[in-house]
Amino acid sequence: MSLKKLGVAVLAVVVLGAIATNSAFAAEFEESGATWFVGGAALPVGTHEAFQTEAKGEKQTLETTVAGQQLDLTWSKTSCIGCFIDNTAGTIATLMGSLSTTVITVSNPAGCSVKGGSVETKPLSVLIGMKLGSATVSTAKFTPEEGSTFATVTLEGSGCPIAGTYKITGTQFAEALSATGTSATSQDFKMNKAIQEAAGGSLKFGENGAIVTDEFKGTLTSGKAFKTEK
């Protein structure tokens, strides 16, 4: 085989391998099959239940690089602003609203801080689907309700080497910690690198990939028990 043909063959293998890998990640999220139940009954279409969140654990983080610099953000509180759950098309569980992260600190690089110490996302649309092949693992897909921008973050500081305003864009996934069908007054969710990659998510801070590690508890303001069922 000539070097030219060998090069073409190697390229084909690499491309096909990449396609197969990306397909495997994307295939782990099933975009339908979960329905909200509140107080033991399916939530009727057109009926909303107000939803709120509370951070769990000591810290939540975002890690990325900007202009070759490692950027590490940490925050201690995440609130859901104007959030509610509903069932669209009768059976598809969704969550709508914005997220606000506060008490944000920059541990790296030195000299940087987040303007105002907080970030609020644009309105989000959260689809509660399932992990493909599982009847017990609910997976939430977070996307902006309009466009592709989650939020903008301004880094500042007289000694900050990457001062400027950056957009957070893409798709973020979270997994429910309780098995589907478990009714409770609170439901816990987590985000991390493994969940994001397996579900096929891709979040960017500016031009570079970003990883969010977070764990939060969700409750209904009514105090009712709720769950999803496939």
Each residue's pLDDT tens digit, 172-229: 999 999 988 899 999 999 999 999 999 999 999 999 999 999 999 999 999 999 999 8
pLDDT band (50, 70, 90) for residue 132: confident
**pLDDT at residue 114, as a whole number:** 97
User: Does the pLDDT of residue 9 top 60, yes or no?
Assistant: no
H or E segment at 11?
helix 3-26
**Over pLDDT 90: what percentage of the chain?**
69
The pTM of this model reads 0.84
Q: Domain residues of the chain, as ranges?
A: 1-29, 31-229
Each residue's pLDDT tens digit, 56-106: 877 799 999 999 999 999 998 889 999 999 998 777 899 999 999 999 999
**pLDDT at residue 33, as a whole number:** 65
